[in-house]
A = this chain, B = another copy of it.
Amino acid sequence: MDTAERLIESTRALLWERGYTGTSPRAIQSLAGAGQGSMYHHFRGKPDLAAVAILRTADELRSRAAALLDGPGGAVERITAYLTLDRDVLRGCPIGRLTQDPDVLADPTLHYPVAETFTWLCDRLSAVLSSGGLRSPLDPDDTAAAIVAMLQGGYVLARAAGSREPFDRAVRGALGLLRSGAA
């Protein structure tokens, strides 16, 4: 990996672990094994580097979700595949965790890909639910938002507990409810 690449990957790892406010330029340089001059040669500063890092993380998240949500099977099967995807649960969601960072929300360049990721995910799940059919009067948009929220909150519960158990429980609970609401 060249230096720019190491700086981006180090920023991604630190944003995931410590958030934006908790990540110093020095910590990025140290993890990347790059000097301060080298970092400022490649990027204007931490915000620029974070913008690239967040976009890349958001792209990965979308690709993984799309592969399963556009996969074979009915609505419930595809959503089951997505929710039960192998996840590093205790690390939390690398995109969702950024919503707790006021400095991210205050910077449109950082905030935008975070907002877009969830809009895209809710729309995608809603489309799957519309095609598969929910029992009346369940609304696909509302149900999709509930499922995406359940996943994000599952990470919160797992980190609170220091165990992935409540995450797995929430996923089972959500899938149970979804099956009972399926047409």
Task: Identify the A interface with B (CB < 8 A).
Answer: 17-19, 21-22, 92-93, 95-97, 99-103, 105, 111, 114-115, 117-119, 122, 135, 137-139, 141-157, 159-162, 166-167, 169-174, 176-178, 180-181
Query: Which residues from B are CB-within-8-Å of A142?
Result: 169-170, 172-173, 176
Query: Which residues from B are CB-within-8-Å of A155?
Result: 99
Query: Which residues from B are CB-within-8-Å of A17?
Result: 102
Q: Are B176 and A139 in contact (CB under 8 A)?
A: yes
Q: Are B18 and A102 in contact (CB under 8 A)?
A: yes
Query: Which residues from B are CB-within-8-Å of A118?
Result: 156-157, 160-161, 166
Q: Are A159 and B19 in contact (CB under 8 A)?
A: no
Can you tell how many copies of this chain the complex includes?
2
A to B CB contacts below 8 Å, 25 in the list: A19-B19, A22-B103, A93-B156, A96-B160, A114-B160, A117-B160, A118-B156, A118-B166, A122-B166, A122-B169, A135-B180, A141-B173, A143-B176, A145-B169, A146-B172, A146-B177, A148-B153, A149-B151, A149-B153, A149-B157, A149-B166, A149-B167, A149-B173, A153-B153, A181-B181
With known contacts A115-B162, A160-B114, A147–B173 Cβ distance under 8 A: yes
Q: Are A149 and B170 in contact (CB under 8 A)?
A: yes
Q: Are B99 and A156 in contact (CB under 8 A)?
A: yes
Q: Which 7 A-B pairs have the closest CB atoms?
A: A146-B173, A149-B153, A152-B153, A153-B153, A142-B173, A149-B170, A99-B159
Q: Are B146 and A174 in contact (CB under 8 A)?
A: yes
Most buried by B among A150, A166, A169: A150
